[in-house]
A and B are shown apart, each in its own frame.
Chain A
């Protein structure tokens, strides 16, 4: 069977601008998220968590809480005698008739702790000391000592990105309801197929007795792969009470424990020849993702500088656990590497576009992509006109500058299974237990199925977001679109071929001569010989056709490149940075839906403005507490903060023929670096780490010179 994607001139839906199918559900406010599920007899759950960053739980007394009005179940989540490693560790869960009653009851839980020393800062490994650091393997490539000795220009600087959180607007959580020994969980998850087994294990039932339902969800960004302790506790409360329980994290708990992006800081030395050829890199990086040591980031980023020495130290802190955050490690590695290279270019007196071009040879397989994207971005941004050497020479307090960054991401397809069914009445459906995080997954599945069947989009029913459908991979690492589109393509091609087999005799043709186009099954090259889709399906008799398909490497690929340019205005009197404009040029292979693809990139840029300028998880060493577990002081960019955004998707020959590749993460990698570089171009000094708050901008200006 011929599964390959239709050629450009035959695509009816693929690669067009199509509005997301779940759009009307959402903008009418009528679709039910997990947070919105109100079951008959519903109870409200709430957790009591540790106020201490490091302590031993010595006594848990829930007797008073159990007597409070409306309380129906209490569950100990953390045993006496065990040590909590961050403030916010959940200890006890309760369920009561109303939200207010469960809050009152939670206040009556008495937990005694033996406080232990904590550490929550990541400024430097020296300040942390041996007790809170772990040196990871040092790696040397080539001969950095000799290369630095031969260098004509060398730059040293410190770069970094602080800890941020996911701040999903729909907090983590779920509604759990038992029916006998079967459990239904309406979960806000990125992993519909995966969490049933985990929660089932926690409550002692097999995974096949747990149905996970997530038709829509309110944001995950990498933090919602697990069933989590609160998923198990919610099911336990529901079991004890004999009633369904909704337990969503409160905002403070969400920001304290439901995911942190690790910080990475680095002291970098980088060297080049006078003509800009990069020859040597040396970095000692460090960062924290909580009490566990994450892997070392593979610096330098994108540019594989031939002689390098890389060392990483994990700082072990009591700040709450890390979780994957959209493009794990990449935004931090990008701001470090692109910042250092930008400063080196400034020292060389080179335009960064020329400097990056000079070194594209060491970027690997995407060198040609970067080259084409640099050309496109320069044109859309008017780079040549806007770029100036370091430091805006204008006399006023507002300084303008521009910056450049490039990035990469894998995005290979996850393993997904699709079932496609054609009914004798002509209706068609595709089913898979994938989830739509708001990225357009449901729409992509529909487009691929409708394209294959030659039907209008609305003629295909898409069943996703329920674990009863064929298993699909978790949505992380930009792996979903490749998985679901290729599995859907294979299932629908197989199904429509079965239909061809059935109707070929009545068209006086063989099935390989047939095609499904424009609502018809017809003979290729002889469109007069045709049946309407409905007529063809009527020939199935009483039995529908069902065919299945799996993710296919032939229809997908991996490794994308992207280029971004930014323009900023910096008020040197207040330290406030305003993003004026960002141009993003992005490759992701064959684009299924241009409209939702562009939205992914716009969204990534806006999220990028937020982490470049505003958001930061602030920790207090004195108390061990997060200082801003709320949305007043954990700042997200507003509609007036993001400037003009221009998105260009690289499509056509050389791109489409690579097949489908994920897009969620790559465009969120560069904004920190590109805004940081634009600020440096404007004010002549490097502001580090990001976010570039007014305080840090003013401090950098006061310090002066290169960072």
Chain B
């Protein structure tokens, strides 16, 4: 890639953009696909993918025809209210930047393919999969990780609800679930049992903690825990 002639790079960029436009103009996005399926973990999800929405709103999106990388570039991320200036290759995912560079390891790397939700963080109020979001595309956005939910000595009411309802076993999916639940409750302050079933299908647990999670979400909503 790095040895390609600039004109070839431009072709690649244009091809990629055309593909993106095609997929959006077809009226069948990945989100629609997820919504239309109800079996084994691809149920309707509050966790949505950031795609071109991010590119549009990014603080420093590449201009038309501009090529950046593959060398490291300056990247500024606002995470939990703090600004971090990093040098990252453009290919670095938001998840790797958070975990490997900022030591914010609450978001987990599990499927690394936008399937399981263990890497869920909240960007501009929306739950997203940080493993399929590039760090450069998250610039200029308000990124919240689970570490930002409450000061270190305190427990956010939603985290407390996970404890009270034993909504976790090994706990590796838990931070992703907590963030997905937070984004869900922020949008739906009065969740129903059925709504929870429908809306948290973008996160997967292997130990089988869904019973506790159902109850934790309802408890947090009752306590107004969606601050």
Contact = CB atoms under 8 A, between A and B. Distances in A.
A219 to B, nearest CB: 4
A600 B170 CA distance: 11
Contacts of A23: 162-163, 166, 168
Interface stretch (A140-148, A201-209, A406-414, A637-645): A637-645
Interface residues of B, number: 68
B68 to A, nearest CB: 15
A20 B152 contact: no
Q: Is the interface of A mostly helix, strand, loop or mixed?
A: loop
Contacts of B169: 437-439, 599-600, 603
Interface stretch (A130-138, A444-452, A627-635): A627-635
A27 B99 contact: no
Contacts of A607: 206-208
Q: How large is the interface on A (under 10, 10 to 19, 20 to 34, 35 or more residues)?
A: 35 or more
Nearest to A437: B170
Interface in B154-169: 155-156, 158-160, 162-164, 166-169
B89 to A, nearest CB: 6
Contact of A638 (B40, B145, B172, B175): B40
A96 interface: no
A638 B105 contact: no
A428 B199 CA distance: 45
Interface in A1-59: 19-20, 22-33, 35-36, 38, 44
Interface stretch (B8-16, B19-27, B55-63, B211-219): B211-219
Contact of B92 (A29, A100, A216, A250): A100
A219 B116 CA distance: 15
Interface in A583-609: 595-596, 598-600, 602-607
Contact of B42 (A19, A29, A638): A638
A170 B156 CA distance: 24
B39 A170 contact: no
A606 B208 contact: yes
B105 A36 contact: yes
Interface string B131-155: 0000000000000011101101001
A631 B105 contact: no
A217 B163 contact: no
Contacts of B113: 251, 630-632
Contacts of A606: 205, 208-211
A576 interface: yes
Contacts, number: 213
A26 B116 contact: no
A568 B44 CA distance: 22
B200 interface: yes
Nearest to B91: A100
A638 B38 CA distance: 9
A98 interface: yes
B208 A19 contact: no
B183 interface: no
A251 B172 CA distance: 14
B89 A27 contact: no
A631 B168 contact: no
A218 B178 contact: no
Interface string A333-351: 0000000000000000000
B118 interface: yes
A251 B164 CA distance: 31
B40 A36 contact: no
Nearest to B110: A169
B109 interface: yes
Interface in A137-180: 167-171
A521 B170 CA distance: 37
A642 B210 contact: yes
Nearest to A170: B172
A169 B214 contact: no
Contacts of A636: 40-41, 116, 204-206
B146 A638 contact: no
Given A99-B96, A638-B42, A31 B209 contact: no
Nearest to A101: B89
A469 interface: no
A25 B200 CA distance: 22
Interface in A233-284: 248, 250-251
Nearest to A635: B40
A613 interface: yes
Given A217-B170, A641-B43, 5 more contacts: A26-B174, A28-B149, A251-B112, A631-B110, A641-B39
14 contacts: A26-B174, A28-B106, A35-B108, A100-B89, A169-B118, A216-B170, A219-B207, A606-B205, A632-B115, A635-B39, A636-B116, A638-B41, A638-B203, A639-B205
